[in-house]
Amino acid sequence: MIISGVNAQSLGWTEEFEAAFAPYAKKGFVSARLIRETKINFTALKHDGTEFDAFVTGKLWHDAESDADLPAVGDWVAIDLKGEDPVIQAILPRHSRFSRKMPGKSSDEHVICANVHYVMVVTDPLADFNLRRLERYFMLIEKTGCQPVVVINKRDLVTEEELKERIEEVQALSKVVQIHAMSALNDDPLEVLKDYFQIGKTVALVGSSGMGKSTILNRVLRQEIMDTGDVNDFTGKGRHTTTARELVLLPEGGLLVDNPGMREIQMWTDEKTLREGFADIEALSQACKYHDCKHQSDKGCAIREAVQSGELDDERYEGYLKLEEEVQELKRRRKKRKMITERWGKRTNRVKARNLDDRIQLEKDERGEL
Ligand SMILES: Nc1nc2c(ncn2[C@@H]2O[C@H](COP(=O)(O)OP(=O)(O)OP(=O)(O)O)[C@@H](O)[C@H]2O)c(=O)[nH]1
Ligand SMILES: [Mg+2]
Ligand SMILES: [Zn+2]
């Protein structure tokens, strides 16, 4: 399929990508942006609007330390078109990526979309409206270098007074967030959100299932490309209407990624971040009598003394004791992922196999079964 009116700029190509791509251009690879993810491959879009399926090379799999090192929708990649199948050889450095923690037990990173400028959190003013969850979204967005936008959709379901209250509550949470209230059914989302739909700028729609993300996308596109549907959000057991992640070009310029509704939106972490959270306690441990102090029953433990004197909170101390366990768990999962990746990689480099547990959790979450 060829999409007309596409050029490098409208797809978000910049001088930085051009520079990063130069060594791959020498090898005869082409650059393309990933616009859709399926179980085994990606759909890529070239600067001229040509769409094609591409597979991930075994080497990328092999070198990936975590999920974040694998391609995601929104990525610019270098593709080798010379063989039988187009193969993604490299990911060009991302200017941003919006991630969350993998659903389920893993604390690993799940990249929702790469090279995003605005993350739009869509919520309603009623049952879904949750300040703690919005706060988590803001923390995640802050980590990525994208700009947060909150869309309070379905304003037709509340009074002006109630709506005003909701807006003020969100405002109080963050100084940098832009807030828009609308009804995707009665208002024109393209008009309300026009500041974000600019040539070459990528907007990601996120939020719980049934909030109207796909309705917004369809109206902005002036056509029904995404299924929309009623979801029983009180039980949260309803099937999600959108099941795949897709980046689309808007007729007026700009790019929009619709996402399946997400129930879990938590921080992902790595060893450094885990340790940073306990920097004060690690500093205390310098004063422990024994170099290999386990900070439990050892004599002369500065950390335990701080707990006894009330200087250090008991719960934080417990949390610190679990830190090593958590770091080890993180490492164990990475190793497991790598092994599975290699096994699958040997079988076929076409199959994208994340850590199997993660993959299952991810799919459950996106089908609304979590
Ligand atoms: N009352 C009202 N209903 C709306 C509004 N916007 C969307 N809806 C309805 O909400 C339902 C869910 O909309 P979708 O666009 O499918 O929601 P979604 O966020 O894409 O959901 P998932 O794909 O499951 O994540 C549909 O029945 C829409 O018609 C609105 O502004 N007001
Ligand atoms: Mg949808
Ligand atoms: Zn100690």
Q: What's the CA gap between 352 and 317, in Å, rounded?
A: 40
Q: Does the pLDDT at position 262 exceed 80?
A: no
Please classify residue 281 by burial: count the beta carbons closer than 10 Å to its beta carbon, then call 0-12 exposed, 13-18 middle and 19+ buried.
Answer: buried
Q: What's the CA gap between 190 and 188, in Å, rounded?
A: 5
Q: Given 1.10.10.10, 3.40.50.10470, 3.40.50.300, 2.40.50.140, which CATH number is that of 15-91?
A: 2.40.50.140
Query: Chain-wide mean pLDDT for the chain?
Result: 84
Whose C-alpha lies nearest to ligand 1, atom 16?
A: 228
**Residue 211 Cα, ligand 2 centroid: separation in angstroms?**
8
Give 147-173 pLDDT, tens digit per residue: 999 999 999 999 999 999 999 999 998
Cβ(225) to ligand 1 under 6 A? Answer: no
Atom of ligand 1 nearest to the CA of 208: 25
Give 341-357 pLDDT, tens digit per residue: 555 555 444 344 445 56
Give yes or no for a contact between 78 and 29, defined as CB atoms under 8 angstroms apart. Answer: yes
pTM: 0.78
Q: What 3-state class would DSSP assign to 165? A: helix
Yes or no: is domain 271-353 CATH 2.60.120.620? no
Atom of ligand 1 nearest to the CA of 182: 31
H or E stretch at 179: strand 178-181
Q: Does the pLDDT at position 269 exceed 60?
A: yes
H or E stretch at 67: none
The type of residue at 181 is: A
**Domain locations in the chain?**
15-91, 97-258, 271-353
Cβ(231) to ligand 1 under 6 A? Answer: yes
Give the domain 97-258 fold. Answer: Rossmann fold (3.40.50)
The average pLDDT across 52-80 equals 88
Nearest residue to 54 (alpha-carbon basis) of 25, 21, 24, 76? 76
